[in-house]
Amino acid sequence: MKRTLIISLACLIPALLYAGDRSVLEEKLEEIKTGRMEIQNQTAAFLVVSRRLGAGDIDQERNIRVIKPVAHAYEGDLPNSAVMAYLQDGTLLPVLNKEGEWYKVRLPDTREGWIHQDDVQQLYDDTEKSSGRDNREMNAELYHKTRQAAELLFSQLSKKGKETDQLIAEFEEYYQSLSDAGKQRSAYLPVELNLERELINHSRAYAGHYYSKLPPIQMVRDIRDTGGSPIGFDGVASMRFGSSAYESGGEISETTRNLSLAGNMLFNPRSRLEMQLDHNNDVIRTPYNSTNVNLAHHYAAAGGTRLRTSFMYQNYEDELINQNSYYNLTAGVNVEHPVNPSTRFTGDLQAQSKSYDMVGGPDLDGVQFNTLLHYRGEKTVVNGGIRGRFQSSDVPFLDYQRINPNIRATFRTGRGDFTVFAEAEQLSYAAAAEINDYNRIRLDLERSVTGSRTQFSVISWQYPNNENIDNLRFRVSNQRTRSSAAGYSRTSMYGQYTYHTSDIAQLSNYADLRFDQNYSGTTGYFDIGAFGRYWEDEGRDHRLSIYSRFGYKISGIQLGPVVGADILIDPDDPDLKHTGNSYRAGVDGRANFIINQATVFSSVRYQQTFLYTGFTADGDSEMRKPTTLEVTAGARIPVAGQLELQIDVRYYSMDFDMPGLAGGAGNRVQSGLRFLTGVSYRFNRM
């Protein structure tokens, strides 16, 4: 009997301990969920008040919404850039800039990234805009009280955010103190925590973005009696100093400085001046100085029309290579006008002049325009417009004219969204480069349902002065996405056949195939991509490219290997050591931590490449082994109030493994080390 009791207690006590561990974690998780709901409610209230103050025109194109089940946010405005984040359907993103087909946005974790326009939807809400029109005409006293209410709401939101940060830190500390068995029994709780943290970060980043757009708190006074003097201003100023060194056969060292001032000057609730001033002294291969000035005046008319005028000045001085020095001037105007509650017109005009110090440099003058008519119905969305650029230069390939009309129509049905997109493009160069003139026509047919998108495209390229490369391309693509509490995945593939239509074509027809698989979970990630090109001409080498990266995620650390290969395949003599073939392997790691409100981040990338360059006189393969190493680290440390200490360090080394040159010169190696430290201060004055 005693033996049975002892055995029962021995089994029961660990079970009770594990249950106790889960109970503690579950209680903390419930507190975090409660805090998250309060933050979301406070964010919603803050945005309602901010809308009345015209904070960056929250209800206009400065916001976009993700319309795909899972969309990628990239480090740059190219599809082959590194993926920074996976965004779920419905995620709202503040827009910082737009370049071509790409939006630069503020991500939920406060970083800046790029997302393609096909994955998002511009937000227009003319009903709310109309209803808010009178609010922007409020008197000074009511305006001031509204601004005070926004300040109070943001303060409460920030306080609750710090409280949830502390709860999350306590949860993670307690979880890490558990035994392996305890962690295994409670493994589902960190997954829920990550989801809660993502929602919290999204709300805080969204509110923080529009808080920076708010006009400053000003004294109670009648706007009409200001005599045109500024009501107030706010912004961020930063100063960073350090040193940079670059070495390639000889060392170049330079004292580094980075000065920046960005902010808004408010004249009245309808009119503000946005400014950004930057000055840099640094060394990247050669020492240089750069100065950038960006000014933009925003005016919101009573009828909902918005007008933006802008001016940009850039000056770059290369201290060693004079022909690299230049200045660039750009001026522009942008207007948005609501034609009716469902239709909106946008027009943009930019003029540019760029001049180099060297005689006969690639100077240019250009004008570009973009017009867009946007219609949004209950089940139909139509965008149509025309854009173009006219540019003159003494350099033939910089002297051209480009016209690009386009139209897109999306029809929403019970069986998915159907989209038709058509565009044409004509590019004409100066006489000396007219062989590169082309006319392009494209037609896309697309069907989208939840988790899947299929597209068929036909693209015609015609070269009036070089008919032997005229071609017609047929492309079919598909993308599928899945999301769950465990992570996100995306599979995309396409096939394209290029047919050269000319009877005197000098190029062979070919087929391309591409496959990509991406996955990001709570504890791991992997990306794999493969591309192949098959030529119909028997005399051409086929091509195969493979890329893969994968690894683990543990407490803010992401680490794993990277491998890849670019292979040319001779069908008559397949050889992995074919001249031009390359194979690469390396490691990629990143870490991000928050320690007592300080953000610490670092990354490391190392890659070794094996490149076959030919054969020796004895018939042996010759191979180069270039290597690349890049290490970055930094920290953002709150000091007092709105003052923040910033530290950034970057080191890189590139060994090209080039053959020795005559005169004793050895292999070419480039390396650089950069250290910057300074402070950033946010100011807000009446």
pLDDT at 9: 40
Mean pLDDT of successive 10-residue segments in the chain (686 residues)? 44 43 75 85 78 52 64 72 68 74 72 77 44 42 71 83 85 79 74 79 75 54 42 82 82 83 81 88 83 91 86 90 87 92 92 86 90 90 94 90 95 90 94 91 93 93 91 94 79 94 81 92 88 88 92 86 92 81 92 81 91 76 88 88 87 81 56 90 73
CB atoms within 10 A of CB 152: 12
Structure-token pair, residue 596: 């007592």
CA dist 603 and 353 (Å) reads 38
Buried b (16+ CB within 10 A) or exposed e, 290-326: ebbebebbbebeeebebebebebebebbbeeeeebbb
pLDDT at 128 (0 to 100): 35
Q: Where are the domains of the chain?
A: 18-211
Angle CA 553–85–633, to nearest 5: 65
Q: How far is CA 302 from CA 129, 224, 523, 590, in A?
A: 10, 16, 52, 49
pLDDT at 217 (0 to 100): 52
Q: Which tokens belong to 185?
A: 């029994």
What six digits make up the tokens of 318?
């290369």
CB–CB of 42/157 below 8 Å? yes
CB of 603 within 8 A of CB of 590? yes
Total residue count of the chain as it appears in this document: 686
Residue type at 368?
Q
Nearest to 402 by CA among 392, 384, 390: 390
Cα–Cα distance list, 88 to 66, 103, 209 (Å):
7, 16, 20
Other C-beta atoms lying within 10 Å of the C-beta of residue 445: 14
Cβ contact 492:477 at 8 Å: yes
Residue 137 is predicted with a pLDDT of 42
Both tokens of 540, joined, read 């051409």
Q: Which two tokens stand for residue 49?
A: 């008040």
At 553, list the tokens: 């995620």
Q: What is the pLDDT of residue 223?
A: 40
CA angle in degrees (0–180, nearest 5) for 374-380-383: 25
CA–CA distance, 16 with 466 (Å, rounded to integer): 81
Q: Residue 550: name the closest of 506, 592, 518, 509 by CA.
A: 518
Selection from 152, 154, 148 nearest residue 220 by Cα: 148
Does residue 81 sit in helix, strand or coil? Answer: coil
* 18-211 to CATH, choices 3.40.1800.10, 3.40.50.1820, 2.30.30.40, 1.20.1260.10: 2.30.30.40
Q: Which of 201, 199, 193 is nearest to 522 (CA)?
A: 193
Backbone phi, psi, residue 177, to 5° = -80, -10
Contacts of 449 (CB under 8 A, 6+ apart): 415, 416, 417
Residues in contact with 262: Cβ distance below 8 Å, sequence separation at least 6, in sequence order: 235, 236, 237, 275, 276, 277
**What per-residue confidence (pLDDT) applies to 279?**
92
